[in-house]
Structure 1
Amino acid sequence: MSATKSSTLFGTDRRVIALGVARMADAMGNSFLIVVLPLYIASGSVSGELFGFSESLITGLVLGLYGLVSSAFQPFAGRLSDKAGKRRSFVILGLVLFMFANFSYVLADSYEILFVIRAAQGIAAALTITASIALVSEVSRTETRGENMGVYNSFRLIGFGAGPLLSGILVEAGPYPVPYIGEINGFIASFCVAGFMALISGLLVSIMVSDPEETEPSTEKMVFRVTSDSPDYTLDPIFALGLATFIMSTGFALLASIEPQINERLSQGAFIFSIQFSALVGMLALVQPFVGRLSDRYGRKVFIVAGLIGLVPITLAQGLSTESWHLITTRALQGISAAMVFAPALALAGDLTKAGQEGAQLSVLTVSFGIGISFGAFISGFAIRFGFIAPFAIGAALAALGAILVQTQVPKKPDD
């Protein structure tokens, strides 16, 4: 696929940077809620009963609903943008829906309303994620697609990582005096900031991003394949790349549900744990553009396989940590290995995808990433009963399986 020529900034297509910055602001605003919503529910601002569930269970359901709805809708949203041939419109529509949903939390006073708003955010994410990743692929040439995917993902991850920190500061520093309104507490301030970030993202995309001239509505029937048409492979290569992405993201969340056990084992507090958790995201955001550029020059598959192989000892070493710095170091190394998988996998999937099917086909990887995050938290929460190393041993075994899958089931380039 060829891309329409466009002006560049620091050697990267301006549209890719604009989409990345827009997704950074959007991800920052949405990740605000990871910290704010549990505190908001616990503060008594939300009332009611929901099937007799405990407050902690309701909080978990509210937080998890976003990913569930987003993952369920992404293939349909991607297919709709393929049929329309208008990626930019879908990105803007998703960001506008995000904006209204974020502002709506100010009015939420019952659990039922929280669920409706969170579901709306999941739909908004499905529209934005699939259309924006397809647009990045379409505006990229084959020789720049890896770098562009890395730049886009890095901006998004920076926003996701910064959001919880900023929201915590906003909540603790409130209340705030507002002219003509009076004082507002930290919760309302966070919801308003999240809404304004989505608004800014939408304006940025509408002003700086355009669809490539060659993008046309797709009339081809879309089939999501598991098996390959080629006699050389058993699995469809995009499905295999989706499995590799799922395995990589499973390792992201292994710490999420076992924080108490980690803190007890390493004799540390919540602040050190947050550093350990964020070390992966920070390193992933830093390294992805460079790995993406190298994959454009030397090939994608070699980086994906090497990254998955690297995850085997790195993930296992986390389960052997006896000092806080051990886990910080291994999480940072995990971020480097994950970067070797993520951007090249998206770029290779873009290389393999037929024109006009980017939205639906690339959603295989974006959905896999989201499901992997949820699966990782579940696996670690279940397996920790068998010993501290158990969740990490499972993650390492999955990484080894992923390396074998990519090596045997994914071609180096479309014509292989």
Structure 2
Amino acid sequence: MRSLVRLVAAQFAVDRRVLALAFARMADGIGNSFLVIVIPLYVGSDIVGGTTFGLSESMIIGVILSLFGFFNSSFQPLTGRLSDQTGARKRFVLIGLAGLATTNAVYLFAETYVSLVVIRALQGVSVAFIIPASVALVNELATTQDRGGNMGVYNTFRLVGFGSGPIVAAAVVNAGPYGLPIGELTVSGFDAAFYIATTTAVISFLLVTALITDPQTTRANAGADLSIPIRDQSGRHLLDPIFTLGVASLFMATSIALFATIQIQVNEHLQQGEVWFGFQFAAFIIAQVLLQTPIGRACDRYGRRPFIVVGMLLLIPTTLVQGFVTTSETMFLARLLQGVAGAMVFAPSLALAGDLAGEGESGSKLSVLTMAFGFGIAIGPLSSGALVGFGFEVPFIFGTVLATLGAILVYTQIEETLEHTQPVPVVGDD
């Protein structure tokens, strides 16, 4: 296994530990994205019951999906800081994966709305151990000259898992129940999905255990507190660049995540089934899988800022149009182009923040972006669940406003961090 990872890592020109971590995140991403599709279907089935606290089904789904993001994001500054202090990135990733595997398995016994809420919250805490330590590890294994490419490769493999899960999830649920070779026992489609999610988390745990080691240079010399500077200390701009990127990530993630909660409304609006929705949900990820690595490497050459600004600008029309499309095919195209926008922002933003992070600060500094993105993933489902009652297009108009604000922020408050960049080629140049 180590030889295979080393060989593939050489092809991608990254540290083998970055690639191994990317493979591990790909495995747990499959299971986690399974749940994004399965949970709304599970809530809408006859299996789940109990009190709904007076909330509609759409709002219940929004709450359950959003709790993951809220707990995940709330704990990330703490876990990022602790991983800086201890220098034990691998240990934190393993703790999170163990928690994720356990909570995935517990879904098999969840039959009330309250139990789903509790499990999803615990999953958020588990993943809060994984994300800051993983991104910090990638950052510390990279240099200024190749940081964007490393972030791109890491995100590419992670998103392969997250993007493939939704396509398979609906098919797994719909094809159940499954007969077992032992007696006349059967497994429902929902239980099969939860088994798959658990298995992928276990595989990820084993990969990290066998293939990941902490960098020898990681030191416990992070900042004295967990505070996030808001004002730009240099005085050149109003806002701190990392804080600005965090706000832009929050707005972008919220716009992206509007889609997940309103699966039922989207399917009704477009007169389509769950499988089409799975493809549309995954379209965003497909674009990023194809573009993360080349964009990451391009931002090492041409600079971080141009890609971030263009990506935020592209997010505006690609979010708005989703509220007005009338066919499954055009919704897929809109989500695909929204994925292009996200790809232009993700790796360059992490690379820019990594450029600005001091030694031993990767977990704390980069957790600002991952925390903000997590909060956006949580706010998006809640927002669309609450706004869709006013009209199908309303959630997407809300997301468009946020995307516009984010574009203005990055254009006015972010400066380039690479000292030597080449001009971005223009079509028609010799």
Give the deviation of 1:196 after TM superposition: 1.9
Give the deviation of 1:263 after TM superposition: 5.1
Q: Determine the structure 2 residue equivalent to 1:310.
A: 314
In 1, distance between residues paired with 2:60 and 2:267?
25
> Is 1:241 aligned with 2:241?
no
In 2, distance between residues paired with 1:320 and 1:38?
23
Q: Determine the structure 2 residue equivalent to 1:167.
A: 169
Structure 1 residues 157 and 297: CA distance shift in structure 2, 3 A: same
Matched-pair contact (CA < 8 Å) for 2:105–2:194:
yes
- 1:91-170 mapped onto 2 (5 Å cutoff): 91-170=93-172
Amino acid at match of 1:239: F
In 2, distance between residues paired with 1:100 and 1:270?
27
Q: Determine the structure 2 residue equivalent to 1:209.
A: 212
- 1:222-233 mapped onto 2 (5 Å cutoff): 222=225, 223-233=227-237
Give the deviation of 1:65 after TM superposition: 2.0
Matched-pair contact (CA < 8 Å) for 2:62–2:382:
no
Counterpart secondary structure, 1:216: coil
* 2:292 counterpart (281, 284, 288): 288
What is the count of residue pairs matched by the alignment?
A: 411
RMSD: 2.9
Q: Determine the structure 1 residue equivalent to 2:426.
A: none
Give the deviation of 1:299 after TM superposition: 0.6
Give deviations 1:316-339, integer Å, cap 9, x for gaps: 444453444333323222211211
Give deviations 1:126-165, integer Å, cap 9, x for gaps: 0011111111111111111111111211222221222233
In 1, distance between residues paired with 2:196 and 2:290?
26
Amino acid at match of 1:301: R
Q: Determine the structure 1 residue equivalent to 2:416.
A: 412
Q: Determine the structure 2 residue equivalent to 1:35.
A: 37
- 1:323-338 mapped onto 2 (5 Å cutoff): 323-338=327-342
Give the deviation of 1:56 after TM superposition: 6.1
Indicate the percent of aligned positions where both proteins have the same amino acid.
Answer: 47
Q: Determine the structure 2 residue equivalent to 1:65.
A: 67
* 1:344 counterpart (339, 348, 365): 348
Matched-pair contact (CA < 8 Å) for 1:178–1:184:
no
Give the deviation of 1:106 after TM superposition: 2.8
Gaps of 5+ in 2: 1-5, 421-430
Matched-pair contact (CA < 8 Å) for 2:61–2:261:
no
Give deviations 1:59-80, integer Å, cap 9, x for gaps: 4433332222111111111111
State the TM-score, normalized to the length of structure 2: 0.85
Matched-pair contact (CA < 8 Å) for 2:67–2:378:
no
Counterpart secondary structure, 1:213: coil
Matched-pair contact (CA < 8 Å) for 2:255–2:319:
yes
Amino acid at match of 2:249: T
In 1, distance between residues paired with 2:66 and 2:390?
25
Matched-pair contact (CA < 8 Å) for 2:319–2:399:
yes
Structure 1 residues 59 and 388: CA distance shift in structure 2, 3 A: closer
Counterpart secondary structure, 1:134: helix
Counterpart secondary structure, 1:129: helix
Q: Determine the structure 1 residue equivalent to 2:10.
A: 9
Give deviations 1:236-259, integer Å, cap 9, x for gaps: 110001112122222213334555
Structure 1 residues 40 and 386: CA distance shift in structure 2, 3 A: closer
Give the deviation of 1:228 after TM superposition: 1.4
Structure 1 residues 381 and 66: CA distance shift in structure 2, 3 A: closer
